[in-house]
Structure 1
Amino acid sequence: MERVLITGALGQIGTELVMKMRGIYGADNVIATDIRKRDDAVVLGGTFEILDVTDKKAYFEVARKYRVDTIIHLAALLSATAETKPILAWDLNMGGLLNALEVAKELECKFFTPSSIGVFGPTTPKNNTPQDTIQRPTTMYGVNKVSGELLCDYYFHKYGLDTRGLRFPGLISSVALPGGGTTDYAVEIYYEAIENAKFSSYIAQGTYMDMMYMPDALDAIINLMEADATKLVHRNSFNVTAMSFEPNEIASEIRQHIPKFKMEYNVDPVKQAIAESWPDSIDATVAKEEWGFKIAYDLKEMTEDMLLKLGGKLKQVGS
């Protein structure tokens, strides 16, 4: 990768990925785009363009203008938001992806887009879910992601496009706020713990879901994109994960640092139904074998880092 175009650059993944990749490849070689603009480091710290990914002509012109060799397509509606706006989710998630693949094909770019554990459904094995298994999701987001995996595979086999992807679990970030995902409680809980020493979870106690700390997710994207293509048997997409926990377990870990922290439950039936349709834990063996996937953070280490970083950030905001 030498010149990279990132869509959805102001989202949860994009916000941190842009800055990390600029540090590696140079600020002028990572072009950030989003449908909106705001005054922060992503916009002010390097090249930024307004881009609606459903506009194929505009997408092509931006990619051609900067002579990019890699497209990282992140623009999408997340699971909970997609379920409340299913038609918009299809139009954005699938229409935008198709445009991205066409642009990558025309400009012969390497291509990445994330998938999700949302591709799995109630009939998928719940524990240690394998790389290759039943994918019958019951959400629009899941349908989008399964379709996206197949579409990326099609472009690889039909056109030889170098497509790659990861099935992300819930992602937890100390930088970007949640963006409408079912697993967002695992981000919100840290903010509430620091500010109010209590949290009301919309996910029921005992509901396990896979999670990953954002630094590990960013490394996974970069390492996959830099991996030797000849060693990749699977491409779209690799199971990756760092930990699996239920709400009370993350609350218990927080109490190691904030003893008075209290957990309550006010279950959201829509989000709970989505969570219950997903696996309790997934198997990332294939990613480890094909390109050396590894993590640096478990629940304990992530909690320590989240509380440290968020504590400093929230203190600055309140001062």
Structure 2
Amino acid sequence: MMNGVNQISIMGMGLMGASLAAALKDSAYTGAVTGWARRDEVCEVAKQSGWFDSVTADASAAVAGADLVVFCLPVQVIGETVLELVSDFKPGAVVTDVGSTKLALVEALTMRLAEGSVSFVGSHPICGSEKSGFEAADTHLYRNRLTVVCPSASEAANARISALWACVGSEVLEMGAREHDGLLASTSHLPHMVAALVVRAVASEPDAIDFCGTGFRDTTRVASGSSAVWADIMESNRKILRASLVRFQDELSGLLTLLDSGSHAEMEAWLREAANQRNEMVENSRYID
């Protein structure tokens, strides 16, 4: 399944990176797993986990000799770090990432890495948590989840990345980077922005905290995600995300009109339509628990 991959280096050992290491150790993969983090305290915790064969705070050392390198960092940091290490990758290595936006990375890295006989194949495992850090790692995070792979010109590199995600239990779907960013703006990035808006609106109400129940908790859960990660997503996908927010604004304007002059029956019909749409989406998705 992972023929020719003797070493996988995971760059970044937060939720996504640590979970990937744990999943690889729980899989059929028998090669070495190297972990990298900037902070010594993260490296020390990683060494104690048993999920890594080696751990280092030296990024150049981490990628040297690796057949496959996975960057599990915020989107903007991924691009910067890959370019800093461009001369350290092993010729023939394949580099991928777990970022939530793809087009900017594919455009910035593909040709630059190819100059050193290194392939870049963008990935996005559509999973995660509002929790972050090594301590939030989940061995089964990727299992039965969809991972989008944005194929490069190299069939061999594409196959290697698809095999990685299949190895940890993901279903792999190939998709162009531009199409990916458009879809995820609506299904992932927009909901996060709306959750943040709800929190900000409610937080301005005096004494609101005493009346926040499970509805508030469930609706706003994702707003607790890493602000650094999500600021990068906003910045790297700002044009497409803005278009999604404009569509949301149109829906909000319609709701305001309904509140101003709509009848009870019209309000009930509006809510029923949304409930039916939501139920159909959830029932037909293989990836929503």
Under a length normalisation based on structure 1, what TM-score does the superposition of the two structures give?
Answer: 0.43
Of structures 1 and 2, the larger Rg is shown by 2
